[in-house]
Structure 1
Amino acid sequence: MRNFKRTVAVGLFCTSLLAAAGAGLARAGDPQPSALSPPAAGQAGRAAPAEPEKPASSEPLIQVTGRVVHTWEDKPGLRIILVIDGFTVLTRDEQLTARDGVIWFDEDAARRTGKAALGVYAETGVEYRRADGKVEKYDSVFAEMATAGEISLHSDEPLRGRADGTEMFLRARKLRQEYLTRGVRETPTAVTPAPVPGPKVQPPGVREAGVPQEITIVAQDDVRQVNFTSFVEQGTRISAWSGGVYITRGDLEMAADNLIIWTPEDALRRAAAGAAAQEPGGAAAEAKAGTRLAAEAYLEGHVRAIQGRRVLQCSQLYYDFQQEKALAINTKIRSFALGRNVPVYYYAKEVRQLARGVFVGTDSWMSTCEFAEPHYDVAAKEMRLEDLTPEVGETGEKPQHRRVRFVGTDVEAEIRGMPLTHWPRLAGDVSEEATALRTIRLEHRRNRGAGVATQWHLLKLLGIEQEPPGFDFYLDLDAWSKAGPAFGVQSEYKRPDYYGEFLSYYLPNDGGEDTVNGESIDPPQRGRGRATWRHRHYLPKNWELTIEGSYISDANFLNEYFEEENEAGKQQETLVYLKKQEREQALTLLASARVEDFYTRTEYYPQVGYNVIGHSFWKDRLTYFQDSELAVARFRPAEAMRTARQSPPTLVADTVHEVDLPLKLGPVNVIPFLEGRLSYFGDSIRGGAEGRFAAREGARAATQLWRVFDGVESEFWDVHRLRHVNIFDASASAAQVSTPSRDLWPFDPTEAGTHEVIGVDDTGIVELGWRQRFQTYRGPPDRRELVDWIKADLEAFFYSNRQVPGIAPDNRPVFNRLEFRTDWRTTDVVTTWTNTTYNMDGGTLERVAVGANFVHTPRLSYIVGHRYIPDGESAQMLLGFDYRFNDKWRLTVMEQYDWDQRENAQSDVVLTRRMHRWLMRIRFQHESYKEGLFAGVEFQPVGVKEMRLSW
């Protein structure tokens, strides 16, 4: 079915009522002089020039949207718009949302005055956001809105004719009359009249016992001739229409070429008697009452049934109004996935509605592709769907996602009719934004070969309808031409008292290759895999338990199959950690073991710790820190470190105490500190026990200076007022130690005296920092925001008594150096940046990086940069851009070229083509360190992020 979108625009040309109402009032987001500090002594004290008044906008000031829209002329010059489902009225300052609504628009008055006043009725889940930001909620409401711009009307379906016989319109008309009779129709232009709340509206499709819900039948259009006949047979009145009619009943709306309804004669007589009393007319009144109280209906020819966001199309439909049951032949149901912003289509040879929101279909399939033969789908021999989404009236809030329980038999995922997977039974209780298939990828990789990788919601595949709250279980099923089959289970869980994750993956017979240092090698073993469990539990009395267990089959496995986790994920450990924390004090217990011999780890059997973080004493003049431990530790280096020795189980006692003295010396905050450390090791690298005493003393200081320049104005640089902020910080410390770290086992990596790290040794460190921020206002005159125009950071680092230069535990270099970084928002389009490191020991530049980011237009953005590392003999040029040719084509390129090595470091080219319901990506990738070229084509259905087909 084509997705129609019609727009009705009424052009009006004069000053907006809403703009007039808001004249002279400050709007949220306007820059305030107080946002910058007041002028300091000696500065220009004049106020910033007044901002010019914003001209009235020529863009549409009222937008009306809805899925199904009826519009007709009630009388000459008065247009009525009735909206079913998704009713929204949006102005520049106000917003009204509801499920359904009605609008009265006086076109004649708009033409005469150039001002349009809309009478707006809304019901079911109404939210009215006023110009001041206040949100009011109603069951039903009538309000007036005004505009001098355009009124735009958007509908997902073709605009339809009269619907003045529906129950909603009658309720709307009644509340409008009450509103007008109060004498508030004419209001001052500078005052927005308050909305008039209406009575509580019964949720659509729900009615009180004994109260029949009327059925309204109207012609579809004025072109075709509608024929009507009615007769009585065996106590039942049978009425027939042909020529195209609409049938409405609450929130259910149907249309067909031909219609037959059956009404019990006794109900007809009771209804006719009541109708005749109010509307004399004999047989006519009887027939009218009969159609309103129909019990059953048969529809044929271009049948459509609309209820909420569901649209059903079929060739034949039987509907039982009393039991809300139906039978449809050759059915197509159209719904809408809010979480994906795409339509969802459900096809079936036969569909039975067993109750409201409960459907059973045979020979059915589901897809986001609307073609009769969909490009991709999930098919089932029989599928039962039960809509569990609460009505707005049940919870008082509009549901964010539709919740559906489904059960399918003989379920297959298909592409172009070719089945990819098969499950005898598939069931679940999910929201509309979730599917059993989480991801699917068809890929070709040099080391693994061609293959398919899928991930599924495990409990849905097992037919478990009620998933445990807070738990997600996933099943990985992969197959590769070289690496062979692979499978794994993943789980993520989060409950009020605990949370955690479980990861597993296994290849029984890996026949692929691994890439190590740019070379391809055979896997160290055929059966490969991993299993990792991390769990944290909050126990009573402020106790906290952490458990981690990890098994990796070989050193190359994570890098080959979980590269991102291997480079940036948490360290693989096996441990039990227990902690009790009371305010600033904590007691800890740690036991750990190394499982994989290719990792360097310290095992504890166990470690007991006590920590104090920031305890104030002496009337808050001093702050105390402590870190103490008593442990039996064992250092175990990786097997690849052939020169490193393994320690025996060693008794370690270590306690560190620090006292800070926070001071304020005028505008400067100064914190002198003194640290003492006492340690005992039962064994050492030199052999025998060792004791160690260490001391560290120093100070940290920081201050800020700023000044505001009110007179700075530049249209060229887009600078409007300027604030210059200077932040100065400094720290200096000196350490003395009785035993150098190179004589001790490196149980703690931060103490290892190797060429990689610098430990606790006689070292002096001085760090100086100067950070500048130039801030200004940017943006439209009425919505300017404070931004950092220029950032400039300068830092200096000085070290003394260094035994072995290298890298500190936090990965900082430990040579004397200067670091300078800038970030300049030249315009709203261009941002330039630099990053420079100068080695004062060698008098050389250690690293230089410069570049710029450009957001030229919404269609074009690009980045250029250059990074130079003399010691690494690397000078890389970076160039990347993203360009949208049109709505269908998009090109993304990223290129890194090393001028020193005279080779291409990395190239990425992605060409994206948006097709009807697919995204096609053609991808080329080259990385020099992997010595490989990847070229592939990827397909992804629009809105179905779980499915990606790549080669």
Structure 2
Amino acid sequence: MKGYLRLSIWVFIGLVGLLLAITGIGGGAHLWARTTAPQESISLSADWLQEWEQGREHIGLFRGHCQITQGATTWQADKMVVWVESADVDSTVVEDRLVIWLEGNVQEISATGHRSDSSRLLKLRTIAGVDLSVRGRVSDQPAIDDALYIRALKQRFAGTPEAALARSELLQTQLTVDPPALTIPPGSGNSGFANPGVMTPQLGQPAPSMNNSPAPAAMRRVRIFPRSAVPFDVRSFRNENTLPPEQVVQLTGGVTIIVDGIERVGVIDLSADNAVIWTTALGKEEFSTESLQTGDTPYQVYLEGNIVIRQGENIVRATRAFYDAREDRALILDAELKSIIPDQQGLTVRVRAESIRQLSRDTFQARNAYVTTSQLGEPVYRIQSSDIFIDQRTWSPWSQPTVDPETGLLKPNTIPWVTAQNNAFVFGSVPLLYAPVISGPAEDPNIPIQGFTFGQDNIFGSQIRTRWDAFQIFGLQKPADTRWTLEADYLSDRGPFLATDGKYRGLDNYGNSFFGQGLAAYVNDGGVDNLGLNRRDLAFPNANRGIVDAQHRHQFLNGIELQAEAGYASDRNFREQYYEQQFDTGKDLEMYLGMTQRYDQLAWSIWGRPSVNDFEYTTQWLPRGDLFVLGTPLLSNILSYSSHSSVGYAQLDNAAPPPDPNDLFTPLPYYTDANGLVAMTRHAIEAPFQLGELMLAPYAMGEAAFWSDGFTNDSVDRFYGRAGLRANLQMWRVYPYVQSDLYNLNGLAHRMNFGADYGYAASSTSLSEIPQWNEFDDNSQERFRERLVVNTFGGILPNVFEPRNYAVRSGAATGVADPYHELVDDQQVLALAWTHRLQTKVGPPERLRIKDWMTLDLGVNYYPDASRDNFGESFGLFNARYAWYVGDRTSIHASTLLDFFDDGQKIFNVGVLTQRSVRGSAYVGFRQVDGGALLSQILTASYSYQMSPKWISTAGTAYDVGEGQNRGQSLTITRVGESFLVHLGASYDASKNNPGIAISIEPKLGNRKTSPTMISPLMGAGF
């Protein structure tokens, strides 16, 4: 009964805090005096703003909860563009004139009613000023190529004479449209309202003509030169058998024809041994090496013999060709097309074909062809196709139009795109795979296989591992910013292994962004697990093993984010055996579904998490809600208020023990079997102020928490309070005349910061009475703790290494928003910090930038009640971090963490890293972990080196100095070929007693920058 009485008190406190948060007492609310328009001020607010100056106007792009208020009228929308121009009415009054484009769920709310639109254009004026409130990010970068701005600009100028003045900002159109007669009321100026009777400009086309005269026809210039120093022979005659008559010119002996002057085509350079030209008949049978003609004049060319055609970045070689300059069409036989991929460091895609048709400037069709990025005459591997189409596409949803520097007009960002039909993957001369359709960017040569590895070790046996591009395997068009890979392996000691993984990112139909990644794997395992010393032959419950690990995030403009995860493993050791790096450093596997929203200082979330992996310590929340209020100002910014409240139904279960008794396991003592209501509310007040150069901030925090189940199956409640004072003092000194070429010093500045935080905390319930409902360790750390108690401390963990005690000593949960609020107790501590920065300037004289040359961070805690809070020692948790960036390529790093009581932790690390651009890097480091019975002293060294453009080597080694034992080595030699990377690797893992050797063949797929062997930085621009 006592517990529920305290719960009622807690609920009352939480409701008061919630009311403060919602009403925003002192929370920066703005009130404006309102008079009759245009004397009434205008207020603008949104979540996000991008603003810049252009001429006399100030332009802003607003997104998320956009709102405009003037007088009793309010307009709301998802996004808007605002142009503001200020003009002097007289010597004392300034009038602000606003043109506003509203888009998405537009609402007008006034005393006369409520109106809804999908979009709307407004014109407002005021002499009382414009108030601006932005809750989120603000950017001052111009956004003239933003799609929202482009749409707003067209609507603003549609149907007005001022449209001609906006030509440099509007998109082009090939249409020439005479504008209707306009009647503009006196004094209205540029009304800015859209006229539905006017055709608006379209992408990639010139602006509408503003007069009634037709546009002049484009002119074409044709020039003819000898191909070499030897003059060509000419035969020219008039053909009267056509209507109208045409001139026929035969050129032999090597000729070059240059056609230019047409904006949409560019310059065409045609070279061949022989050529025939058909064009409009000349006045007499004369030939000229240079002529000027209109774009609609017929001009056709037939070429044969050593043909080279150049058009922009495209180069075509052929034996015979026909080109129509007026229609911009071509037919090329026995041809090879080379095209440079934009923004890919000169990467060239090559198409070899029986015939190539040029359907337009950037569109080609190839028959009986193959496409590759290899520059070999016939590459080792290739995609052979019956038909290949190459065109230009806007691929990524993130791509925005750019401004053409020559014309000042907008042009779309496009990339070459390949679509191939009836495809066979050919290795040498042997077809291996077939796909009916392949479609993707030209930078990817559409080779389905990404890697092929032969290996041998003591864990998996003989191995054949293959990785494939799933889009190519299934003949699907690859979306932008998406990767999908299939893995098919055979492991002689384990069985067949199948896996798929991928990543994606994009925009939905409403402009909201989403991203995610996933992994799924399956093996029919006929072996045993080898996870290291004392765990080399572990059985598992079922031969059918696998994993599912997927995450998805969907972000909406109104600050809402949807999160979903699916994480499942068949047994406790599968992930550690097959995906060890992900197990050690990746996110825990979870089943999760939740939604959050952030708005100003307010944020809320509601989420659920069932537990499907019974061998892990994962609390089920079915469901849980959280409310955050962070940094809300009170009493005219004298105080800052924050709070965090949560409530949910939870189920906490101990992890199931491993099925194999040889797998060391000790249950973690702070978990138990419990379920029921878990509720908490925290509230904090801070009052920062300046005292000279010293910044002081007294603070106080209170918490009320309730758990309906505990270690004894009784309810537990707790009241916790903490009060203290934070102080901060900054000092600096500049030495402008310190110069050194050896140490790359150009002036030196020393900056110091002293910080202190004194806190006194009291709790009504000891931490030892409260289970750990909110996990604070990753699963890999918990698994290590399960073994550590047995294999290092003989079954009893010393209190000094109890992880929850360590968390309390370090203040891990003293913040108002800390996720594991259980980790507090009675405590009195003074935390001291002293940071140093030695900074210099580097770079060219006109663009100097500040760089850290040397850094040192020091910290220590002082505990007045040492016997209670720090095992009898007044000082503890001494930490230091040091870094010296000797030059641009070499740095020295060191760190330490010490406790001063008996058997306390003594951890330090020191290392030297040197890098030589793309030639390689080397690292040597030493790390010690010393605590009671645990002592580890590891010396590590590694390097990667490009021995020549064709050979790269990487190696690493580790040795335990304390125990005098080898820990492992690895060595990889890579041969860089035209079409393949061939890796030969050898390794030894002493903990698992596992020597291994592998040969991996990796195709050089386009300009890919990643490699399984992590040598991509050494590959240069061609990889």
**Shorter-chain TM-score: which interval?**
0.5 to 0.7
SS at structure 2 position matched to 1:565: helix
- Counterpart-to-counterpart distance in 2, 1:533 and 1:865: 36
Residue from 961, 985, 999 that aligns with 1:923 = 985
Which residue number in structure 2 is paired with residue 497 of structure 1? 512
1:700 equivalent to 2:726? Answer: yes
- Counterpart-to-counterpart distance in 1, 2:948 and 2:169: 43
Q: CA deviation at 1:209?
A: 9.1
Go from structure 1 to structure 2 and tell me whether the alpha carbon gap of 1:914 and 1:549 turns closer, same or farther (over 3 Å shift): closer
SS at structure 1 position matched to 2:583: helix
Which residue number in structure 1 is paired with residue 378 of structure 2? 373
Which residue number in structure 2 is paired with residue 347 of structure 1? 352
- Counterpart-to-counterpart distance in 1, 2:270 and 2:487: 44
Kept after mapping to 2: 8 A contact 1:504/1:529: no
Letter in 2 for 1:316: R
- Counterpart-to-counterpart distance in 1, 2:516 and 2:804: 32
SS at structure 2 position matched to 1:559: helix
Kindly provide the CA deviation profile for residues 646-690 of structure 1, in whole angstroms up to 9, marking residues without a partner as x. 534322232222222323333222222222222232222123223
Q: CA deviation at 1:551?
A: 2.6
Q: CA deviation at 1:569?
A: 2.5
Which residue number in structure 2 is paired with residue 517 of structure 1? 532
Which residue number in structure 1 is paired with residue 647 of structure 2? 630
Kindly provide the CA deviation profile for residues 456-504 of structure 1, in whole angstroms up to 9, marking residues without a partner as x. 363x665566x77x77462524232444252436452433335242524
SS at structure 2 position matched to 1:362: strand
SS at structure 1 position matched to 2:962: coil
Kept after mapping to 2: 8 A contact 1:339/1:432: no
- Counterpart-to-counterpart distance in 2, 1:539 and 1:248: 53
1:831 equivalent to 2:831? Answer: no
SS at structure 1 position matched to 2:768: helix
Q: CA deviation at 1:440?
A: 0.9
Q: CA deviation at 1:623?
A: 2.2
1:406 equivalent to 2:419? Answer: yes
Letter in 2 for 1:700: R
Residue from 735, 741, 756 that aligns with 1:730 = 756
Q: Where do residues 3-14 of structure 1 align in structure 2 (5 Å cutoff)?
A: none
1:593 equivalent to 2:597? Answer: no
Letter in 1 for 2:930: P
Go from structure 1 to structure 2 and tell me whether the alpha carbon gap of 1:903 and 1:588 turns closer, same or farther (over 3 Å shift): same
- Counterpart-to-counterpart distance in 1, 2:990 and 2:548: 31
Go from structure 1 to structure 2 and tell me whether the alpha carbon gap of 1:664 and 1:485 turns closer, same or farther (over 3 Å shift): same
Which residue number in structure 2 is paired with residue 945 of structure 1? 1008
Go from structure 1 to structure 2 and tell me whether the alpha carbon gap of 1:837 and 1:388 turns closer, same or farther (over 3 Å shift): closer
What fraction of aligned residue pairs are identical, expressed as a percent?
21
Kept after mapping to 1: 8 A contact 2:929/2:935: yes
Residue from 864, 873, 877 that aligns with 2:935 = 873
- Counterpart-to-counterpart distance in 2, 1:883 and 1:947: 17
SS at structure 2 position matched to 1:816: strand
Go from structure 1 to structure 2 and tell me whether the alpha carbon gap of 1:633 and 1:804 turns closer, same or farther (over 3 Å shift): farther
Kept after mapping to 2: 8 A contact 1:763/1:801: no
Residue from 786, 801, 804 that aligns with 1:757 = 804
Kept after mapping to 2: 8 A contact 1:819/1:836: yes
Which residue number in structure 2 is paired with residue 298 of structure 1? 302
Kept after mapping to 2: 8 A contact 1:231/1:237: yes
Kindly provide the CA deviation profile for residues 857-885 of structure 1, in whole angstroms up to 9, marking residues without a partner as x. 87464333322333443222233344444
Residue from 422, 427, 434 that aligns with 2:434 = 422
Q: CA deviation at 1:594?
A: 0.5
Which residue number in structure 1 is paired with residue 767 of structure 2? 741
SS at structure 2 position matched to 1:283: coil
1:864 equivalent to 2:866? Answer: no
SS at structure 2 position matched to 1:870: strand
Show structure 1 runs of 5+ residues with no match: 1-136, 140-199, 202-206, 274-281, 807-812
Q: CA deviation at 1:365?
A: 0.8
Go from structure 1 to structure 2 and tell me whether the alpha carbon gap of 1:888 and 1:491 turns closer, same or farther (over 3 Å shift): closer
Kept after mapping to 2: 8 A contact 1:703/1:728: yes
1:223 equivalent to 2:230? Answer: yes
Q: CA deviation at 1:639?
A: 0.8
Letter in 2 for 1:221: S
Letter in 1 for 2:1008: K
Go from structure 1 to structure 2 and tell me whether the alpha carbon gap of 1:464 and 1:875 turns closer, same or farther (over 3 Å shift): closer
Kept after mapping to 2: 8 A contact 1:701/1:731: yes
Q: CA deviation at 1:593?
A: 1.0
- Counterpart-to-counterpart distance in 2, 1:255 and 1:783: 46
Kept after mapping to 2: 8 A contact 1:300/1:317: yes
Kept after mapping to 2: 8 A contact 1:606/1:632: yes
Letter in 2 for 1:722: L
- Counterpart-to-counterpart distance in 1, 2:583 and 2:444: 29
SS at structure 2 position matched to 1:567: helix
Go from structure 1 to structure 2 and tell me whether the alpha carbon gap of 1:802 and 1:562 turns closer, same or farther (over 3 Å shift): farther
Residue from 614, 618, 643 that aligns with 2:631 = 614
1:383 equivalent to 2:446? Answer: no
Kindly provide the CA deviation profile for residues 342-372 of structure 1, in whole angstroms up to 9, marking residues without a partner as x. 2221111233334444333232111122222
Q: CA deviation at 1:301?
A: 1.3
Q: CA deviation at 1:899?
A: 1.8
SS at structure 1 position matched to 2:378: coil
SS at structure 2 position matched to 1:601: coil
Kept after mapping to 2: 8 A contact 1:636/1:647: yes
Kept after mapping to 1: 8 A contact 2:515/2:553: yes
State the superposition RMSD in angstroms: 4.2
SS at structure 2 position matched to 1:372: coil
Kindly provide the CA deviation profile for residues 220-265 of structure 1, in whole angstroms up to 9, marking residues without a partner as x. 01136545465747445543222111122232221111222344xx
Which residue number in structure 2 is paired with residue 253 of structure 1? 269
1:432 equivalent to 2:442? Answer: yes
Aligned pairs, number: 726
Go from structure 1 to structure 2 and tell me whether the alpha carbon gap of 1:306 and 1:544 turns closer, same or farther (over 3 Å shift): closer
Go from structure 1 to structure 2 and tell me whether the alpha carbon gap of 1:209 and 1:550 turns closer, same or farther (over 3 Å shift): farther
Q: CA deviation at 1:787?
A: 3.3
Residue from 459, 466, 470 that aligns with 1:453 = 466
SS at structure 1 position matched to 2:584: helix
Which residue number in structure 2 is paired with residue 851 of structure 1? 911
Q: CA deviation at 1:767?
A: 1.7
Kept after mapping to 2: 8 A contact 1:369/1:376: no
Go from structure 1 to structure 2 and tell me whether the alpha carbon gap of 1:464 and 1:624 turns closer, same or farther (over 3 Å shift): same
Letter in 2 for 1:945: R
Letter in 2 for 1:865: G
Kept after mapping to 2: 8 A contact 1:615/1:625: yes
- Counterpart-to-counterpart distance in 1, 2:845 and 2:223: 54
Q: Where do residues 83-102 of structure 1 align in structure 2 (5 Å cutoff)?
A: none
Letter in 2 for 1:223: V
Kept after mapping to 1: 8 A contact 2:913/2:923: yes
Show structure 2 runs of 5+ residues with no match: 1-167, 171-205, 208-213, 261-266, 395-400, 658-664, 783-798, 806-822, 1015-1023
Kindly provide the CA deviation profile for residues 589-610 of structure 1, in whole angstroms up to 9, marking residues without a partner as x. 3322101112211112322333
- Counterpart-to-counterpart distance in 2, 1:885 and 1:369: 23
Q: Where do residues 54-203 of structure 1 align in structure 2 (5 Å cutoff)?
A: none
Greater shift after overlay, 533-542 or 662-671? 533-542
Letter in 2 for 1:501: G
- Counterpart-to-counterpart distance in 1, 2:874 and 2:390: 65
Q: TM-score by structure 2 length?
A: 0.63
Go from structure 1 to structure 2 and tell me whether the alpha carbon gap of 1:597 and 1:439 turns closer, same or farther (over 3 Å shift): farther
Go from structure 1 to structure 2 and tell me whether the alpha carbon gap of 1:683 and 1:782 turns closer, same or farther (over 3 Å shift): closer
1:662 equivalent to 2:674? Answer: no
Residue from 560, 568, 577 that aligns with 2:585 = 568
- Counterpart-to-counterpart distance in 2, 1:291 and 1:672: 83
Q: CA deviation at 1:633?
A: 1.6
Q: TM-score by structure 1 length?
A: 0.68
- Counterpart-to-counterpart distance in 2, 1:522 and 1:815: 47
Go from structure 1 to structure 2 and tell me whether the alpha carbon gap of 1:212 and 1:221 turns closer, same or farther (over 3 Å shift): same
